[in-house]
Structure 1
Amino acid sequence: MRAVVFDGFGADLEVREVPAPQPPPGGAVIRVEATGLCRSDWHGWKGHDPDIRIFPHVPGHEFSGVVEAVGAGVVSWRPGDRVTAPFVCACGSCAACAAGEQQVCERQTQPGFTHWGSFAEYVAIDHAEVNLVRLPEEMAFSTAASLGCRFATSYRAITTVGRVRPDEWVVVHGCGGVGLSAVMIAAAAGARVIAVDVSFGALELARRFGAITCVPVAPSRTETGSGPGPEAGATGGDRTGTEDGSGPGNGSGVPGPGPGPAVPGLRPAVPGAEVAARIRELTSGGAHVSVDALGSPETCTASIESLRRRGRHVQIGLLPGLTALPMGRVIGHELELLGSHGMAAHAYPEMLAAVARGTLRPEALVTRSIGLEEAGAALASVGSVPGVTMILPRR
C-alpha cells in the first residue's frame, strides 16, 4: 500500500510503498477513504509521544472507510461495511470498559501512535466489536473522518463532561479543529458562545459556526509564526487530537492578528493576560463553562479565571508537563476542573443522529482536501490553514 512514512522524529515525511496490514485476531483492516490531519500527528512526528518507539512509522488517527478484512472472532462486521472508529481503541474487558468508559480504557491502542496509522490506503484496528462505528449510507467519508477525534471529543466535552445547558455562557479558548467543533456543538445546545483566538481567520469561522462574540488575542513574540510553533502540548501517552487548536503556536490558521483582516464586530485584540477580565466583563461576572481547546498554561489559566462562581472548566488540549494553576480561585469560587478524553464508540449514535438532522454540521469544518503526496508538507506546517484538513488517500 501507499503510506506517509517517517524514519525518525522530525525526519522527512515520504510517501512509500509499504506492506499492507493484516487484521489482528478480533480486529479489522479498514480501507481508508478519508483521514484528518491533526496537530497530535505533528506531536507524534516531533517525538513528543512515548507510544511511538519503532520506525518506520505511519501517522494518522482519525479516519473513515470500508472494512477490507476482519480477524478471527469478529462476527458483527464484514468486508464492505462503511465504518469509522474513535481514536481511542478500547480493549472491551478492563474495569473502565466494563463501566462503559472506553475512552479511558486501561489497555487502549491508538492508530498512528501505538501502531501504524491512517495516513495510508489501509489501517488496522484492534477489538473491532468494541471500536467500529457503522456509518449511515448518506454520510460522506470526509464528514465521518472529521468525527473520529476532534468533533467526538468536543461533543462529549460539551454535552457530557461540561453539562452545557441552554442560555449558559460558554467560552472556547483556541479555535482550531476541536475548538471550532466545541463552538458549533455548544451553540447547537443553546448556549451563548464566546470564541477566543489569536487568528482572525479562526474567529471568522467561529462566528460562522455560532459564536455570538469573539475575543481576538494579541499573540506574544513567540506566538506569531505560521507553523506549530513552540513544542508545547507534549504529554505522556494520551492525546485528544486537539492540538491543532490555535493560540500559542498558532495552530488554527492564518498568522496571528497583526491587525489582520477585519471581522465584523470585533474589538481590538487584547493581551493574553487580559482575556479573562474581558470575558468576565462580557458575561457580567464570568462564564458558566470555559473550555481550553488548545492546551497551554496561558489558555488553561485564562479559562479558569474566565469562570463565574461554581463554574466548570473543561480541559481538552494537552498541557506540557506540570502546570501551575490559580487554585486559590478554584477553591474560593468552588470551580470544577474537568478533563475530557475522546468518546467511546457506543456513544456515537446520539451524535450521528444530530448530524443526520442537520443540527450539527461537521462537514462545514473541513476547509480543504489533499492527497497523500501533499500530506507530509501539510503535517509539517500544520495550522497554516484554518479549519480541518482532510487527506484522501485514493485521490
Structure 2
Amino acid sequence: MAAMRAAILEEHGEPLSIEDIDAPEPDPKGAVVEVEACGVCRSDWHGWQGDWGWLGLETQPGQILGHEPAGTVVAVGEDVTTVSEGDHVAVPFNLGDGTCPQCRRGFSNTCENVMPLGFVEPVQGAFAEELHVPFADHNLVSLPDGVSSVDMAGLGCRFMTSFHALAHRADVEAGDWVSVHGVGGVGLSAVHIADALGANVIAVDLDDGKLEKARELGAVETVNAGDAENVAAEVKAIADGGADVSMDALGIAATCQNSVKSLGTHGQHLQVGLTTQDEQGTIELPTDAMVMQEIEFIGSLGMPPTRYDEIFRLVATGKLRPADVVSETIGLEDVNDKLEAMTDYETEGIPVIDEF
C-alpha cells in the first residue's frame, strides 16, 4: 500500500504530528482525491482545541484535520458513475449520503447522516496528500476549466458558507445595509459576496489590518469594535437606523449580540460562526427587542454542492474572486503555526496549504 504525508491530531491544543501513513483506497461508492490545496480554517482550530463536544463533534486523537480541499481524483470505486480519474474537484466539508430526505430535497448540507470532513473518524481530512470521499457521485464538485486549486480551496468552507447564507438564507437586495461582525476568512468572504450582490457593507472587527482588507473587498464603512463605545449604535448610525442583514461570522457572544443589536426593524441576523468553550453553544439574546422589531434569527450551514454552479458563474464573469480572500500559501509543516496564530486571531484571510 502506498504511503502519504498527513498532519494528525495527537492531543487537543498540541502540535499536529506530521507523519507518513498508508494512503486511502476507495470504497465502492467513494473516490480518492489527490489534494493540491487545502485552506486552514478556524473550524480546524475548533477541532484542534477539542470544541463542539456539546454538538457531539469533539474531534478525537488520530484524526486528520482539514476540510477545504481542491484537487484531482486519482481513484474511484466500482459503483461510482459520474466521477472519473483525472477530474478536478472541490470537496464540500459537510458530506451527505445523497439518499436521506434532506439530500433528496436538495439540502444535503443538512443531511440526516452528515459527515463533517476532517472532524470524525469515518471521514479523515485533507491535511494530507490524499483523502477519501464517500458517496463521490453526490459529494464531489467538478471545478470549471482554468481555475487553480489554490484559488478554489476556500470554496470548500468559508466562501461557499458565506454565499449560501447571503444568497439563499437571507433576503439581501441591492442597496441593503449588511453588517459583518468578525472579518476573518468567512467574514471577508461575506464582505466580498454581499458587495457583489449589491449591498452596502459595514465590516466590524478589532483589527485595523483586517478592516482595511475588508475595504479592499468592498466594505463601504468599517467599525473597530475595540475603539467603539457601542458597536451596535455605530452600525445603526451608519445604516440610517439599522442594518437590513447582519452576520456573526465568528461565533463568540460579543459578535453575535452586536450583530443582532445592529439590526433595524424587520432585520435578519445570520448565524454562521459556531461557538467556543466559553459559550458552549448558548448565547444570551435580547429576545424582547427581537419580538418588538420582528427580527429574524437565521442559522446557516455550508452550502449544497448542487448549487456551486451559482458561484462558478459569478467567478467566470469576475464578479466574485475567491482568490482575493486567499492571504498566503504554506507548506503542510506550517499548519501548526497557523493554528497557533488563530488562538489570538492573528491570521488574515485564508491561508492555503499547497505543498504536502
TM-score by length of 2: 0.93
Conserved? CA contact 1:120–1:393, under 8 Å: no
Q: Give the C-alpha shift of residue 54 in structure 1.
A: 4.6
2:256 & 2:85 partners in 1: Cα distance? Answer: 44
Q: In structure 1, the residue corresponding to 2:92 is in which secondary structure?
A: coil
Cα-to-partner distance string for 1:111-142 (whole Å, 9 max, x where unaligned): 21123100000011111111111011210101
Partner of residue 134, structure 2: 126
Q: For structure 2, which runs of at least 5 residues remain unmatched after alignment?
A: none
- 1:270 matches 2:228: yes
Matched residue, 1:146: 154
Secondary structure in 2 aligned to 1:18?
A: strand
Counterpart amino acid of residue 249 in structure 2:
A
SS of aligned partner of 1:392: strand
2:321 is the counterpart of 1:365: no
Partner secondary structure for residue 294 of structure 1: coil
- The equivalent position to 1:199 in structure 2, one of 188, 207, 229, is 207
Change (3 A) 1:51 1:301: closer
Counterpart pick for 1:48 among 48, 51, 76:
51
CA distance, structure 1, for counterparts of residue 337 and residue 63 of structure 2:
16
Is 1:310 the counterpart of 2:266? The answer is: yes
Question: 1:59 and 2:65 equivalent?
Answer: yes
The aligned residue for residue 350 of structure 1 is 310
In the other structure, the counterpart of 1:340 is 300
Q: What are the superposed Cα offsets for residues 63-97 of structure 1, whole Å, 9 maximum, x if unpaired?
A: 10000111131011111110002111111111111
SS where residue 298 of structure 1 aligns? Answer: helix
Contact 2:109–2:302 under 8 Å retained in 1:
yes
Aligned residue number for residue 3 of structure 1: 6
| Paired amino acid for 2:130 | Y
Deviation of 1:8 (Å): 2.2
1:1-395 matches, within 5 Å, as 1-49=4-52, 50-52=56-58, 54-114=60-120, 115-218=123-226, 269-271=227-229, 274-319=230-275, 320=279, 321-382=281-342, 383-394=345-356
Contact 2:48 2:59 in 1 (8 A): no
Shift in Å, 1:217: 1.2
* TM-aligned CA deviation for residue 385 of structure 1: 2.7
What are the ranges of 5 or more consecutive residues in structure 1 without an aligned counterpart? 219-268
Structure 1 segments, 4+ long, off by >3 Å, are: 49-55
2:184 touches 2:347 (CA, 8 Å); kept in 1?
A: no
TM-score by length of 1: 0.84
**Cα-Cα RMSD:** 1.2
What's the % identity of the aligned pairs?
42
Q: How many residues align?
A: 342
- CA distance in structure 2 between the aligned counterparts of 1:110 and 1:20, rounded to whole angstroms: 20
- The Cα shift of 1:356 comes to 1.2
The answer (yes or no) to whether the contact 1:60–1:119 under 8 Å persists in 2 is: yes
Contact 2:338 2:347 in 1 (8 A): no
